[in-house]
Amino acid sequence: MAGKKITCLSCGQTNAVPFDKLAAGPKCGTCKAPLMPDAPVDVDLATLVKAAQTDDVPLVVDFWAPWCGPCKMMGPEFAKAANALKGQARLIKLDTQKHQSAGQRYGIRGIPTMVAFKGGREVKRQSGAVSAGAITDWVKGL
């Protein structure tokens, strides 16, 4: 498979995208959903597990819950960072209230928590609400 492996966040299909096309708005070969969206995508646990293990592009997950005040404050900042990082990394969100086993699987002790995956493994973690600029800098440091 030539190019970077990227899991479609809509249908779960693994796609190969040439490196120089990552910022050009590649779409899934199966369902035509954007592979490098400019806004965070809400995913389920199965999609997160596959993307974290498969993707060649850095994947940053915001573990959050709808009742969490700091999570609500960080949501718009995470969205701004996703737009700024389009083509370099994918930012996704996982609702820990809906997917309670995710917290245990990934050792989430408090929310919001960002976890970065690269090359099939966790490479970085940050807890607490942070600004878009701090998120962008954090991701660029991967």
Alpha carbon distances (Å) from 10 to 44, 54, 109, 117: 10, 15, 28, 19
Nearest to 138 by CA among 119, 120, 122, 124: 124
How far, in Å, CA of 92 to CA of 82, rounded? 9
71 given a catalytic annotation: yes
* Residue 85 one-letter amino acid: L
Query: Catalytic residue among 8, 11, 28, 68, which?
Result: 68
Q: Rounded to the nearest 5°, which phi and psi values hold at 107?
A: 65, 40
Catalytic status, residue 28:
no
Cα–Cα distance, 26 to 21 (Å, whole number): 7
Catalytic residue among 8, 11, 28, 71: 71
Report the alpha-carbon distance of residue 3 to residue 113 in Å, rounded: 30
Please give the positions annotated as active site.
68, 71
